[in-house]
Amino acid sequence: MLNLNKIFDYRTGTVRPFLKHNTFDSVYRDKSSLVVTIGDSWSFGGSLWHLLPENSTSDQINKFRVDSVFGNQLSQMLQADWINISLPAMSNLWMAEQTVRLNAILKTLPYTKIYIVIALTEVGRELVFYKGAKFKNINNLVSELSKQVENCILSCAWDHRCKLIMARTYVNDTYPNLKSSMLSSSWLEVLIDKPFSDNCVFLSMVLDYIEQFIDYPDKKELLQVLESAEKRIELLESSKYNIQIPGYKHPTPEGHKLFANYILNYC
């Protein structure tokens, strides 16, 4: 059994204190296949604890979260073991770095089939932690950060056992060089059962800082970014498959199941 904390980057400061163990999720069923999910709070199972009674114990909360998330549900559908390399608030570059670490240990994994599902989030979260970066404009920011993620993931050499599946939570696709692995619909599009009618690549975490990252902010451009984010938030608020609590709109257990079923079509 892998010691995940020694291999992958676990940042305890980003995880809510009710979690009993500082570790990534893993379920071993003694199967010949493995599902690895890499992502942020959506893949982690954010807000699911709000559906439980207030007096629920940390063990009850953790079990409900792990049982509910799409990665575990998908692994059960595929009769596979499962590892979830996901943490709240993490960036796409962090996910790409974990993918490289996974690629480096492939030879040690005793599986005949390995499914790697990366659920990308909004562009730019890495800048929230490293605020010194500057870009010419918003398009330049999106392009440069997306290329960093692409290059990191494309540096991986997958063997014949591996199936790489790229996904997105609630934003549009900004990764042209990952098209061959990218699912056509984002998680949110699956939940609302219709495609996006506009473009949105920033939302919750990055919007408050976006102006700091641009050398010469264009007010019209910034307004368009805000308007697209508001429309995307409206979609999240209209979805019955997203938990409706202030500040967060993570998927419900049913929303996780819908996404797992959608991904199953590509496995």
What's the pLDDT band for 8 if we cut at 50, 70, 90?
Answer: low
The confidence score (pLDDT) of residue 9 equals: 58
Number of domains in the chain: 1
Helices and strands, counts by H and E, the chain? 11, 5
What's the pLDDT band for 12 if we cut at 50, 70, 90?
Answer: very low
Amino acid occupying residue 144 = E
- What would the two tokens of residue 256 be? 């996780």
Domain hosting residue 59, numbered range: 4-264
pLDDT at 257 over 70: yes
**Mean pLDDT score of the chain, rounded to an integer?**
90
The 3-state DSSP class for residue 10 equals: coil
- What would the two tokens of residue 88 be? 């709240």
The confidence score (pLDDT) of residue 15 equals: 38
Domain holding 120: CATH number?
A: 3.40.50
Q: Strand order in 33-39's β-sheet?
A: 25-27, 81-86, 33-39, 113-120, 162-168
Q: What is the pLDDT of residues 134-176, one digit of tens each?
A: 888 999 999 999 999 999 999 999 999 999 999 999 999 999 9
- Range from 3-12, 29-38, 48-57, 164-173 carrying the lowest mean pLDDT: 3-12
Q: Please compute, for residue 112, the number of CA atoms within 13 A of its CA located in the half-sphere on the CB side.
A: 5
